[in-house]
Amino acid sequence: NAIGSAIRHFSTAHQLSAPDAWKTDYENTLLLNKELAEAYYLNGELEKSQDLIFNCLEKATNPIDRADIYYVWMLRLALESKYDEALDAAINGLKELEYDFPKTTTQEEVQINLQKIIAYFQEHPIPTLYDLPLMTSEKYKAVMKIMDNLTAPLYLGGKTELWILHVF
């Protein structure tokens, strides 16, 4: 199967990595470890995946990389239906990017945010959004990557108000 082949290839590359690979080839080492962690969790080898994820978090040198590892951790936890822990991983990743997302919210806060969105779109009709430049900030792209995949932990985890806030 494809996952098994990926694990064999990534594992071989991981074993052949130089002992100081995190220092001499940081980007490729991070990518290799992250991809191997993802392959392991998709193959049901959750402990191996977790070990690699935690090692990546320890070795990551910048907030965007750490946020991306928290993203992988969030996906892995959601796959196990550990939705509260997946939310924690997402919140930690977002904090790395200086983006605050609450762990809880109220119906009143949802209503306040809905009113903000309505007010925004009253001033900025949807067709005007097409004229905005494309997002180029790596930081905000990383925020969107996490937020875009937060649906399962929130919705399936029964956090309806947080899910609505997330959609906003």
pLDDT per residue as tens digits for the range 66-124: 999 999 999 999 999 999 999 999 999 999 999 999 999 999 999 999 999 999 999 99
Q: What is the pLDDT of residue 127?
A: 86
- Picking from 99, 46, 104, the residue whose alpha carbon sits closest to that of residue 75 is 46
Q: What is the pLDDT of residue 77?
A: 96
CA distance 40 to 21: 21
Per the listing, tokens 């220092």 go with 23
1, pLDDT greater than 90: no
Q: What is the pLDDT of residue 128?
A: 87
Rounded to the nearest 10 degrees, how much is the dihedral formed by the CA atoms of 144, 93, 39, 136?
A: 30
User: 9: alpha, beta or left, given left = phi > 0 and alpha = psi -120 to 50?
Assistant: alpha
Q: What is the pLDDT of residue 18?
A: 93
State the pTM of this model: 0.91
